[in-house]
Amino acid sequence: MYIPKHFDEPRVEVMHELMRARPLATIVTFDSSGLVANHIPLHLTEEPAPFGTLRGHIARSNIIRSDFEALAIFHGPDIYISPSLYSTKSQTGKVVPTWNYVVVHAYGTLRLIDDASWVRAQLEILTNQNEKNFPEPWAVSDAPHEYTEKLIEMVVGIEIVITKLSGKWKVSQNQPLQNQASVAEGLKKSGLSDAIAVAELVSQRGIC
């Protein structure tokens, strides 16, 4: 991933925060047919240091190559940036559109785990993570045991011990302060959830 210095986010804890907040990852692998992409929610643990481990599950019928390098891509908020949001537009006209976004790339070897007990434990952890903010959280144990056992037979676990993490926070750091301020203000006014999230990042990350 191309990362200019001012967009680089090297802090593992910041990247981990995004990965937990947006757990649906795009996992890219390679097999005899070429590049393959799957979209899979993953649970992050911090061990082993420094980058941690990703765990999830896939359908047994999903033929994904194991014991080879994989790339898991986690997408944060993103939004189109119109030139009209820059305060310098009226002064020079020298502005063009761009896109602000946040992304993390996690690299490691993908391993398949064909173990029903492991898969059930992973399902419970992932479910609990994503249900915690509901007023009445659902648990795997709420469904009939025989029903979940049959479903578990249809999936296999996956695990990626992360060997490399790359973070890119492209949120107007390359713009002068007056443009950063006008972008943040304009995005907040839109009322869109991703726009508001990006606006907060623009305000936090200004470096010019």
H-helix or E-strand containing 196?
helix 193-205
Taking the C-alpha atoms of residue 79 and residue 192, their distance in angstroms, rounded to an integer, is 9
**Superfamily assignment of 5-205 in CATH?**
Electron Transport, Fmn-binding Protein; Chain A (2.30.110.10)
Angle between helices 145-152 and 116-131 in degrees, nearest 10: 110
Query: Which amino acid is present at 203?
Result: S
Taking the C-alpha atoms of residue 164 and residue 188, their distance in angstroms, rounded to an integer, is 34
Confidence of residue 64 (pLDDT cuts 50, 70, 90): confident
CA-closest candidate to residue 186, choices 75, 76, 79, 96: 79
> Average of pLDDT values for 125-153?
95
Instruction: Tell me the whole-structure pTM to 2 decimals.
Output: 0.92
| Residue 92 confidence (pLDDT) | 85
> Average of pLDDT values for 36-57?
96
Cα angle at 17 between 13 and 20, to 5 degrees?
A: 135
150: left (phi over 0), alpha (psi -120 to 50) or beta: alpha
| Residue 66 confidence (pLDDT) | 83
Given a cut of 60, is residue 208 above it in pLDDT?
no
CA-closest candidate to residue 109, choices 164, 61, 160: 160
- On the 0-12 / 13-18 / 19+ scale of CB atoms within 10 A, 75 is middle
> Average of pLDDT values for 142-165?
96
| Residue 148 confidence (pLDDT) | 95
Convert the pLDDT of each residue in 188-204 to its tens digit.
999 899 999 999 999 99
| Residue 207 confidence (pLDDT) | 53
DSSP 8-class letter at 55: E
Whether residue 109 contacts residue 103, with contact meaning beta carbons closer than 8 Å, is answered with no
> Average of pLDDT values for 103-129?
96
Q: How much of the chain is in helix, strand and coil states, percent to nearest 5?
A: 35, 35, 30
Reading the block at residue 129, the tokens are 């993570």
Q: What are phi and psi of 123, to 5 degrees?
A: -60, -40
| Residue 93 confidence (pLDDT) | 81
Query: Which amino acid is present at 33?
Result: S
> Average of pLDDT values for 131-138?
95
Mean pLDDT value across the chain = 94
